Chains A and B, each alone.
Chain A
């Protein structure tokens, strides 16, 4: 293994390809671990794009657009029948 830092603390983009399965298995999947992952992701996005002094509206609109896409995927099954077709 050609890594200096212990495997457990490497970020995803710095893990080498041969180590990937053991990296995935080593992350903790307990509920508090998953909550910690969400928290870290949220704060990374927030601190980089929203928490600056003159944040733009573009980043907030990105969050809302992601919300729209999420809802579209959720209701895709019912929306399939409303497409304009000759034979439903």
Chain B
């Protein structure tokens, strides 16, 4: 059971070909492009959802921050669809790989910080020192704020990886436990019920992306425009 538990997180290769490119590209098949004013049901639903999310998320930053709208909306669509597709049986979720999440987190965070430094240098540097600190504490606080700044992209990536991986592992474990306990009756029903609840909670993987993009947006907003 030990080897089988982590076997679903291995990068899928078939005949030596990297199958993972196909799996990463698959969610884009589910979001067709619209070429008319009144589209089919699938596109209309997606357009409605996208409008809802972008209105709620992009109303906070001012004009300069709103240029990031396209990037952030495609980010939330990608992470949301990838996580939800990973809930299907036997499928592989690319966001469980730390390499991919770091590749998403570090460039976006670095772009936000560098934009803030270039355009509002004094204000960005002023973030390192909260207002009203007593004078002897200043050096230590600057060091602490610097560390907390540089840990932001790592936290973003690791948060996403750990949440999704932990959820998948729990589903595997509890499912295995249920199957093993099938011969003993009363506990089986209880554990199956727990699986059901856990799966529903895990479908708040969509909430996970919300957390991702929202955190990213808050950081972007603070660094960029204040």
Contacts and interface: CB of A to CB of B under 8 A. Distances in A.
B52 interface: no
Interface stretch (A7-15, A17-25, A29-37, A70-78): A70-78
Contacts of B135: none
B88 A64 contact: yes
Contacts of B19: 74
> Which size bracket describes the interface of A in this complex?
20 to 34
Contact of A63 (B7, B12, B30, B38): B30
> Which size bracket describes the interface of B in this complex?
20 to 34
A67 B41 contact: no
B32 A67 contact: no
Interface in B1-53: 4, 7-8, 12, 14, 19, 26, 29-30, 32, 38, 40-42
21 contacts: A42-B29, A46-B32, A50-B32, A50-B40, A51-B32, A52-B40, A53-B38, A53-B41, A55-B40, A55-B41, A60-B42, A63-B30, A64-B88, A67-B88, A68-B88, A68-B89, A71-B88, A71-B89, A72-B89, A74-B14, A75-B90
Interface of B: 4, 7-8, 12, 14, 19, 26, 29-30, 32, 38, 40-42, 85, 88-92, 179
Q: Which 6 A-B pairs have the closest CB atoms?
A: A71-B90, A71-B91, A78-B7, A72-B90, A55-B41, A51-B40
